[in-house]
A and B are shown apart, each in its own frame.
Chain A
């Protein structure tokens, strides 16, 4: 067999560089940086340091080379959202270097642990990369800048106040003398500032706010970007893994002899343990050999107690639970139940949404090498910190000796923050006597072992007065499996995921009650874009639409009136501004052809544990054919930017991504449980949006508030489903209270 992998010497050099984390006197050839001709400013293997022997560290976040190249270290994970570029910009904004000379690499996760979490936080979740990262990233850039300035000042015997800097060139104003960053970096590295400088405020930004081309794009057009599934290390074995089809089941038996002698097969082994679904893996000299052997292996499973569970049963039980006593109260104002009992105009609706899968393009995988003293892991992870801690627990190797090499992620959406891929990979590698192994899950395995967006059921009841304004509003939600943990953002046992988005009604109602029940199943759940909000946002924005239509009011104008009347809501006017913008841009209320409708939705991604918001409104223009086929023609999005967006280009792309994800979920995606297991398997039964199904997406940025927004990673998707379904109602008169749309008969009467 002919192989072309990394030579052992290359591998050793790489490992040392990663272990050291900073300039080590090892010079890397140009070959390290793939596609150099197209000037990629990141290595195809982003965990590798780009450090050359003359790179100088000016603080742990950046290095400067004699030719003024600046290498900035990134603590967050790139999955297409442009976080590498945004984080680099936040540092460079303060550094005042030449942006065209900026390169980026991932931080060393190992160094992060060795140096007392020097890189602050390595999770990429919760729309937090800018919101939480900006203060310390700006500080890192400002600090380095002042050290460089101090170095120049020292060289000239001049006062700092006599110096200016632009694009990495320092000028002594009185004399016109100049020094480049590359010339003073060595001196700057040894300088300690008596006082840390203040960071810029948004009005002072010059680099942030500008649309900036994404640094990782050149790697993704020539095959050089390394995703976890692409990792190759010397001596590597391959494994195909299969976990218990019924969650929480166990391996009963399997006949390893049946496959042991197949070509290339190395071994058959089991995995399991704490937070690791039990299963079997075939290890071989290639993935194909491993996979075909695994397919030929008959495994008997002990299905445990959930072998007959179904999502149909869960939905039935959730409906029943709507009337269960003892609901936990979140918000109560006045006596809405009393008002509802006596009211003449009551609108009531029950809503249901299914489990959803992330359907990442890159199937799940993990490459790991476990020896008694050291663990190396290569994978794309949204939480390398948690991954490292998990590996330490499984292997007993101390954190200081664990090296997590983060890759590009072929889709995350929250799915790559659960670490189940990592734990399983390490548990398998641990059994291979120090040999590295790349574990790959087939597409079917990836689909059937997700951590799904939870299904949810709700009932909304409102009483309207003669003027159409709500007198009472009772929201009850039945949640399933909301208690998953999310790294540093929350701890289990907290129901916040279930109630976010509904805990404070933005719309006026004289009396108000929001309560819930939480139920559990054996289905593993996790953060899907916007975590606990997409369900609630569909519910709320559909219900307020129903209220409007029940009294013949235009849904845009009705929302406006309810916001205007809600004097307790400090952001009502800001919401109205964004709502007006989207209504204007979309041509709301214009005459549409038969079978076409427009629907509107708005929200601000509110969470109980966060004060920042992102106001976003969407109008969907939808056509429904006589045969009941829905086509989303266009999505108009108006989004508040607050005082700045780090990269408007990245924000636009987020809107496109969340549009695609939201449209696919609304039109035809669901995860169904039957006999305790997921039924969907591949892109035939869990379809992705096809090219022709993509709507036109028009994004308008609006300045509606003065505080930095919460983020953009999850703040658009919630309004896609209700806007589409409200549009379907406008086009057909059929009200959609459950998703996906494919389960509804929309043929013209």
Chain B
């Protein structure tokens, strides 16, 4: 039995300690906003926050998350009003949308550390893959989210 906190709720999960956090979140707890795409940490669709830092949950054993604070896309804001979510809606960023939970979590983590990221910062920090080519909109979305956060 392991105890993890996801979106400020405590869950006791009966899983093997080496189970990737991704599958505990999706199958055991039932939060499916965090996605499986490659399973090798190459694409970032599985990005969640571990104590506020972006991690790829497909490569993180759940044992590493024991007693830590996990935030998934569902817990990023109470009402979908995180600056990234507002900016993503404004800019119609998602196409198929499958990568976007990961993109938003990566962007939110960046903005929490750097409130005015430059294009070079984004190049370096946001490496999540997208098959539908929304990269330009993601970049614009991050800049817009920074503006929105500053305007508050």
Contacts and interface: CB of A to CB of B under 8 A. Distances in A.
Interface stretch (A124-132, A195-203, A473-481, A686-694): A686-694
A697 B133 CA distance: 10
Contacts of A658: 133
Interface in B74-89: 74, 76-77, 79-81, 84-85, 88-89
A216 B97 contact: yes
Contacts of B23: 286-288
Contacts of A214: 92
What band does the interface of chain A fall in when counting residues whose beta carbon is under 8 Å from B? 35 or more
Interface of A: 1-5, 35, 37-38, 79-81, 213-214, 216-227, 229-230, 232, 238, 263, 286-288, 359-363, 408-412, 440, 442-443, 649, 653, 656-661, 682-684, 688-692, 694, 696-697
B13 A361 contact: no
A361 B39 contact: no
A289 B102 CA distance: 24
8 contacts: A37-B79, A217-B94, A221-B88, A221-B93, A288-B27, A361-B129, A682-B39, A689-B129
Contacts of A682: 38-40, 42
Contacts of A359: 131
B35 A694 contact: no
B148 interface: no
A222 B76 CA distance: 8
Among B16, B30, B94, which residue has the most Cβ atoms of chain A within 10 A? B94
Contacts of B111: none
Interface string B37-62: 11110110100000000000000000
A226 B100 contact: no
Interface string B1-27: 000000000011111100110010011
Given A227-B98, A659-B133, 12 more contacts: A2-B13, A4-B31, A213-B92, A286-B27, A443-B38, A657-B95, A660-B135, A684-B40, A691-B128, A692-B123, A694-B135, A697-B136
A688 B96 CA distance: 15
A689 B101 CA distance: 18
Given A2-B14, A81-B95, A223-B73, A287 B27 contact: yes
A221 B104 contact: yes
Among B34, B93, B97, B139, which residue has the most Cβ atoms of chain A within 10 A? B97
A229 B34 CA distance: 11
A38 B27 contact: no
Given A288-B27, A411-B131, A221 B136 contact: no
A690 to B, nearest CB: 7
Contacts, number: 199
A187 B35 CA distance: 46
A691 B120 CA distance: 12
A614 to B, nearest CB: 19
A346 to B, nearest CB: 40
Nearest to B78: A37
What band does the interface of chain B fall in when counting residues whose beta carbon is under 8 Å from A? 35 or more
Contacts of A653: 92, 95, 134
Contact of A38 (B15, B43, B89): B89
Interface on chain B toward A: helix, strand, loop, or mixed SS?
loop
Contacts of B122: 691
A691 B127 contact: yes
B72 to A, nearest CB: 7
A223 B89 contact: no
Nearest to B77: A222
B80 A222 contact: yes
A442 B22 CA distance: 14
B131 to A, nearest CB: 5
B65 interface: no
A660 B130 contact: yes
B99 A361 contact: yes
Contact of A221 (B89, B123, B128, B131): B89
A168 B30 CA distance: 40
Nearest to B99: A361
Shortest beta-carbon contacts, A-B, top 3: A223-B33, A660-B133, A80-B95
Contacts of B84: 221
Given A232-B32, A691-B135, A362 B38 contact: no
Contacts of B36: 229, 287, 363, 440
A637 to B, nearest CB: 12
Given A222-B85, A689-B133, A2 B93 contact: no
A217 B131 CA distance: 17
Nearest to A691: B135
B123 to A, nearest CB: 6
B40 A656 contact: no
Given A288-B20, A683-B129, A217 B123 contact: no
A230 B33 CA distance: 8
Nearest to B42: A683
Contacts of B27: 238, 286-288
A1 B13 contact: yes
Nearest to A220: B97
B132 A221 contact: no
A35 B76 CA distance: 12
B15 A684 contact: no
A207 B29 CA distance: 43
Contact of B16 (A225, A263, A688): A263
Nearest to A238: B27
B28 interface: yes
Contact of B74 (A222, A656, A691): A222
B66 interface: no
A38 B133 contact: no
